[in-house]
Structure formats: C-alpha cells, structure tokens
Structure 1
Amino acid sequence: MPTSVILPTYSIGGWSANVDDDYGCRWVVTSQTLHGGAGRKLHATERPFGMGAYRARSYLTARSDIVQGWCQAPDFAGAAAAQDRLRGLFPDGAQLALVKADGLSTRQLLVELNSDAVKIEGWADAQGFDWQLPLYAADPRWLDTTVQTAGPVVVGGPSTDGLDWGGGGLDWASGGLDWGLSGNGGVLSLSNVGTAPTWPVFTIAGPLLNPMFTNPATGDQVAYTGTVEAGQTLVIDTSPFTRSVALNGVDRFGFLASAQWIEIPPGGQVTVQFSGTGAGTVTATWQHAYN
C-alpha cells in the first residue's frame, strides 16, 4: 500500500503521487493547477444603444489541468516500469476518478487524458524522470467521496383524515372533530454544504405506479409513467453529467413524462415530495460538490 510522504496525496486508478509506492518508487508533485477552481462561461451581449450588456446566467466551464512532478526509482528497471504505469493510466479513453486526500477531506474529480500526451523526461542516471500529466474534466466539480443518504421513505399520498363533507355537513354526535394522523409522507430533505450545485440519484423500490418527485418551492417535477413491480428497482439519476433512468438496469428514459431536474444548491437544501400510487419507497443519494 502506498505510503504518504507529502500532503495532499493524489491517486488515479492504481497510481498515486506524493507517496512511496509498492514498487519502491517515490512520486512527488511539484506543481499543479487543480486547486484553482473552474472558470465561468459568460453569456453577455453588449447593449447597442445603452450602458452595459444584456446577460444570462453564467455556468462553470469544464477544466483542463496539468499535474507535474518527478519519480525516483530504485534502479533502471524500476524507472522503466514506472514510466509504463504512468503512460497506461487511461488505456481505453474512459474517465477515472482523481482522488485528492489532504488529511481533512477526501474529494474526487472525474478526469481523462487531455489531447496532449503524457510527457516524460528521463534523468541522466536513468533511475528517475520528470513527468507531466495533462488532464481534462468535463464535470468541473470536486465531489466528496462520502455519499449522503436520505430515506428510505414511504410514498406520500393524500391525507385521509380531517373533515369529511360527503355526508352533507358536520356530525357532532361523536363528540367533536378528530383530526387523527396525517396520511401524507414521502418527504425528503437534501442538503449540500459545498460551493457548487449537486444533483440527487433517486432509487425507487416497488410496488408503485407513476412515481413522481416535486420541489414544492419551485413546482419542478420529475415524473415517471409506468409501474415498478414489487421486487423491481427504478433508478433516476438527475445529474446533467450522468443523467439516466433505468428499471432493473434497463433504460427507461423515454418513460419520463416530466424532466424538470431537481438541483441541490451550493450551501443550501431542497425539500422533495415523493408521490405515486402504491406502497413503494425511495432512497436519495448525493455528494457534496465543490468548485
């Protein structure tokens, strides 16, 4: 297991930096652009006959980062093997989690190799090399590796207690009004202590017909048309970077009747009402997000 020599440590797959690794190599980061945060995409048009500009909401840009440093190996063969491990980090072009641990928190950024190649410059003694790793993150947010959870809660339904006017008026013969317990439920409270927005994943267990999620503050709704049978699981991922709808692993995105995605704002919280017909439950999961 790699041993930390400097904080923070960085790891991608089986490779780590600011550590002594399992092969006797010391990897040290000398510079990086990971800590500066993502930029902003501005949407503005100059006002032709007035002061200033017309603008719309700005958004975080994707990130292009450089991590560079040096590696010292025990011998020539160890240095050659270390170079191979670095070049082979992204063998199939997929995104991998870059995990940063600073002793206080552990966060991850999904990255892939940028269009530039990994740069390696060997030392004169052949027992080490300088390296540079160009990275690209389509999702610019750092996510806590700890997953937050709310639920499971039972589907909410209309309240059946209260006043029943169906008999033509109030019947006081029984001694007055008995409000009983509210039949409403299915309320989830989701909070995000980070500095960037994040989005929940809803996991619904049947039996349930036409599950729906509503943000009462905005009226936004995510509504699924169809049945989730007992023993089945419907997963709705609301993140714009991984958005999907799957019933027992089978794509059901086309079954959404409404897709007004529910965002958990930075430094805030959102209340979500879960409703439908049946006795199903839902669990929400999400991660705090940071710029």
Structure 2
Amino acid sequence: MTGERSLQFGPITFVDFDAPGWAYSGLIDWFGSTPDKKDVVERPQQHGAFPADVSLRASKAISFRASFRGQTGADVEEAYDRLTAVAAEGPVLLTANYPGGSTWRKVTATVNVEDHFGLHIGEATIHCVARDPRRYATGEWVETPPPSPGQGQTWPEVSPEVWPGGGSTGRITLVNDGKAPTLPSFVLKGGIGSALITCVETGARVGFARPIPAGSSVVIENGRATLDGQDVSRWLRFREWTPIPGGMSRSFQLNVVEPVGTPRLAGKADHAWW
C-alpha cells in the first residue's frame, strides 16, 4: 500500500482519515524494541554488570485509538459488538499498512468502548499484546524435489555443445530481508518413508520419522508438525531449529527415504523486524 496508512484487525479495516466506518489514530509502539528480559547481575566489586551472551526480548504491548461513524446509534452498537467479538477470538492478525510496506503481528486484544450517548459516532481503545515481539512481512514459498542425478554428458562432444539438463540438488534457499532473526516454515509433501532437512551453513537438522502418504503433507513450523491438520510432533527428530539472521539467507538440504511419486519440500521465511 503506497501513500495511505491503514490497520487490518482480523476482518476489520481501520483507515487513517475521516470517513464512514472505522478509523484509527495514535498507533502506539508498533515500531521499536521491547526490554531484555534476562536478569541483570551486578558485579559486586567492579563497575557495571556481568555480560550476557544473548538478549531475550519480552512480549510487546501495542495500542491504538479507534472511532466509528455510522448513520445511527444502533450502527455504533453493532460495530462495537463486532469489534469485541473479533478481539475475543484471539490470537488475531494485526497488519499495519504504511508507505514503506505492510507488516503484521499475531496479537491478543482487549477492547474498551466508550458510551456513545445514542449518537452516530463511537470511540474505542484497543490494547494488544504480541507474544512474539517481532513484526513480519510474509515471505515467498520455494520448493524442491529430492536430490536426483542429471542426464550426464557423452564424450567426445560434438559441436555445438548442448549440456543436458535434468537432476535436482534437493536444496532450497530462504532469504530474510528484515533486521531480526526469523524461523523458517517447511512443508513435506508425500509420498515419503522418512525425511531429513539439514541447514547447509550450520548443520542443524530437523527430521520426520514417519511415512507421509502421497497426496498428504506435513507442515513443520513453530516447533510443531501437523499431518493434514493432525498433530504429529512426536515423530519429529533432532529438532535443531535454526533461525535465519536478519539480512541473510540459509540453504536447506532435503534427503528422503523410500520416495514414492513426486515428493517435495517447500519452505518459507517471513521477513522479520524488531
């Protein structure tokens, strides 16, 4: 979105100008970092505190003011009810559209509404908590079949040379264009007897030790695995989750046992910022 600002709170759109429907103002703490939640241990006989080898950020509190303009007081009450129902569903996807692009967080929310005194204009304050403090822009899916040899070349070569194609490295490369580390998501598409995903740069591994029938898929994200919507995390192996640092990429190698049909690995990295 270019030139205009808006918020998307679940199915409800809040515009940044005076118009019928919902509008918003005063989006607080969408940008910026949260405090480090690691304990600070002061040095008893020296200046300062003991150093920490890692920073762990706390959850993020976000809020904004909203106003609704309808034609009657009943319109305002209906808008209040709808807004409260969306907030109660949680977690809710909250997307901020700015001239520089769109970013989102998953939040839980509390809605405080004000008495509209029967008028056609109502006011509300929405308080949100993002348990993951990072904001994201959705990345692109890339995929690969398992490794396979190419067609090879026959010598001596006859001019003009035409190098044969075919084959697959079985690798995908995921890029994080943001400034904060992000965890990749994977989809294993059957049929596969078992599978191993290895980060080429770090050697970190994630395995799945159960057959995946042709036509079914296992989604691996946020430390869990689901097969056609059913939790199958108990068949995950190694669980060596490796984040992709901000502004960098990571390559992932697929290896499978007993492939059937056209199995594939799909991967995605959402770009992340603090």
Q: Does the pair score TM above 0.5? A: yes
**Larger CA Rg, structure 1 vs 2:** 1
What TM-score range do you get, normalising by the shorter chain? 0.7 to 0.9
Instruction: Show CA shifts across 1:247-280 (max 9, x none).
Output: 2333221112210012121111111111122333
Which residue of the other structure, out of 187, 191, 198, is the alignment partner of 1:214? 198
- Confirm or deny that 1:281 pairs with 2:264: yes
Q: Is the 8 A contact 2:88 2:109 kept in 1?
A: no
Q: Name the TM-score, length of structure 1 as normaliser.
A: 0.76
2:140 maps to 1:148: yes
**CA contact under 8 A between 1:157 and 1:275: conserved in structure 2?**
no
- Is the 1:7–1:103 Cα contact (8 Å) retained in structure 2? yes
TM-score, L = length of structure 2: 0.81
1:87 partner amino acid: T
For 2:122 and 2:97, the matched residues in 1 are separated by 24
Q: Give the match for residue 169 of structure 1.
A: none
How far the C-alpha of 1:190 sits from its partner, in A, is 0.6
Alignment map for 1:79-228 (pairs within 5 Å): 79-92=76-89, 94-114=90-110, 117-122=111-116, 126-144=119-137, 146-151=138-143, 153-156=144-147, 185-228=169-212
Q: Distance in 1 between matches of 2:76 and 2:167?
A: 67
Query: What 5-or-longer segments of structure 1 have no aligned partner?
Result: 162-173
1:30-45 to structure 2, matched below 5 A, reads: 30-43=25-38, 44-45=40-41
Cα 1:51–1:274 shift into 2, 3 Å: farther
Superposition map of 1:244-259 within 5 A: 244-259=224-239
Contact kept? 1:20, 1:26, Cα under 8 Å: no
> Greater strand percent: which structure?
1
Change over 3 Å in CA distance of 1:231–1:182 after alignment to 2: closer
> Is the aligned partner of 1:68 residue 2:99?
no
How many angstroms apart in 2 are the aligned matches of 1:73 and 1:104? 31
CA RMSD of aligned residues (A): 3.1
1:77 matched residue in structure 2: 74
Match of 1:170? none
Size of the alignment, in residue pairs?
258
Distance 1:19 1:31 in 2: 10
Asked if structure 1 preserves the Cα contact closer than 8 Å seen for 2:109 and 2:128, the reply is yes
Extract unaligned runs of 5+ from structure 2: 157-163
Cross-structure match for 1:47: 43
For residues 129-188 of structure 1, the C-alpha deviation after alignment (integer angstroms, 9 at most, x for no partner) is 3321111111222222x441111x1213799x9xxxxxxxxxxxx99xxxx999772111
Q: Distance in 1 between matches of 2:85 and 2:190?
A: 43
Contact kept, 8 Å, 1:155 with 1:278, in 2: the verdict is: no
- Please tell me whether the aligned partners of residues 40 and 58 of structure 1 are also in contact (alpha carbons under 8 angstroms): no
Q: AA paired with 1:250? A: Q
State the match for 1:168 in structure 2: none
SS at match of 1:266: coil
CA pair 26-214 structure 1, distance change in 2 beyond 3 A: same
Match of 2:159 in 1: none
Partners of 2:102 and 2:267 in 1: CA distance: 21
| Structure 1 contact 143–288 (Cα < 8 Å) conserved | yes
Stretch moving more, 214-223 or 72-81 = 72-81
Q: Which whole-Å CA distance do the structure 2 matches of 1:99 and 1:218 have between them?
A: 33
Give me the identity figure in percent.
20
